Amino acid sequence: MDIFLTSRIASDVLGGVTNGVIYGLVALSLVLVWRSTGILNFAQGAMPMMATYVGMIAFGHFFGYWICVVIAILVGFLIGAGTERVLVRPLYGKPEINPVVVMVGFLTVLEAVAAAIWSSTPRSLTTPFSPIDFHLGGKPFALSAFSLYQIVTAIVVMVAVAVLFRFTNLGLQLRASALAPEVSRLLGVRVNRMLTLGWTLSTGVGTITAILVSSNFFTGLTPQVMDGIFAFGFIAAAVGGLDSPVGSIVAGVVIGIILQFVGDYVNSNAIILVALFILIVSLMARPNGVFSVVKARRV
């Protein structure tokens, strides 16, 4: 057993899972915005990045890691709520391309502002978890305390979001506000608050992801730290289904494992091509996502 766990195949699987949960969390944050407002947020990487920089400032003032994490998440909540109120709300009812253009522009502005304030030099955020792999029988086992931290965090967030949307009245109101806002208002739902809450929660989840990425010794925090990860997370959201929180995590993990094998056995330059191939094949076979469920409605 030790020989298998320390083998090249097992290392690729574990490395793929570690990367995949990050892609899944990005996908989950996109699912949150989509299910609660019906909008794809292309600044979903840059907004959490800004919140993480604020947490980094707190870390530099001798606050502990967990306090900085809480501060960053709270700032993420504020950025998400403010973005919905100021930028997105005037776009409801407008052509669907309008929010896309606005959020792409907002992405560019946020990254430029972050670079102007903090520069593009990578900044590391030390965590209480070691990035050094465990050892079995004297050989490295491609799993560390930090990797377990990533995986457990992703599972906890996924379960919390799934429970929110499936089993709570608040989750029902969030979905209803996105699908039928006028009907929801007639039923007493405070639609504007629900739309703001959707953006608030999604940016909070995105901030958790940005913290995990920035805590990685090899990555660090830069204004563009989430760009590539957002691309893979977007693919995971499309493959898993924009209406499936569980599907987003599962798709992210599967894609992470596949890309890990591609990078190890084929060529790291082929990773993006394979990711795009997975997206195209998935959309051709299941346009709404692999884990989406189309329910018939009686009229």
Q: Per-residue confidence of the chain (299 residues) as pLDDT tens digits? A: 556 666 778 888 888 998 999 999 999 999 888 887 888 899 999 999 999 999 888 877 777 888 889 999 999 999 999 999 999 888 887 888 888 899 999 999 999 999 999 988 888 777 888 888 777 767 777 788 888 998 899 889 888 888 888 888 888 888 787 777 778 888 788 888 888 998 999 999 999 999 988 887 567 889 998 998 999 999 999 999 888 888 888 999 999 999 999 998 988 889 999 999 999 998 888 888 888 765 544 43
The residue type of 205 is V
DSSP the chain: -HHHHTSHHHHHHHHHHHHHHHHHHHHHHHHHHHHHHS---TTTTHHHHHHHHHHHHHHHTT--HHHHHHHHHHHHHHHHHHHIIIIIGGGTTS-THHHHHHHHHHHHHHHHHHHHHH-SS-B----SS--SEEEETTEEEEEEHHHHHHHHHHHHHHHHHHHHHHH-HHHHHHHHHHH-HHHHHHTT--HHHHHHHHHHHHHHHHHHHHHHHHTSTTT-B-TTTTHHHHHHHHHHHHHH-TT-HHHHHHHHHHHHHHHHHIIIII-GGGHHHHHHHHHHHHHHH-TT-TT--------
Closest CA to 208 of 255, 156, 172: 156
The residue type of 170 is L
The residue type of 169 is N
Residue 1 has a pLDDT of 53
Indicate the angle between helix axes 145-167 and 191-214, nearest 10 degrees: 170
Cα(237)–Cα(28) distance, rounded to whole angstroms?
7
Residue 172 has a pLDDT of 84
- Calculate the CA dihedral of residues 93, 24, 243, 97 and round it to 10 degrees: 20
Cα(280)–Cα(274) distance, rounded to whole angstroms?
10
Cα(174)–Cα(110) distance, rounded to whole angstroms?
27
Could you tell me if 153 and 143 are in contact, meaning their C-beta atoms sit under 8 angstroms apart? no
Residue 104 has a pLDDT of 93
Residue 293 has a pLDDT of 62
Cα(136)–Cα(45) distance, rounded to whole angstroms?
37
The residue type of 126 is T
Could you tell me if 1 and 166 are in contact, meaning their C-beta atoms sit under 8 angstroms apart? no
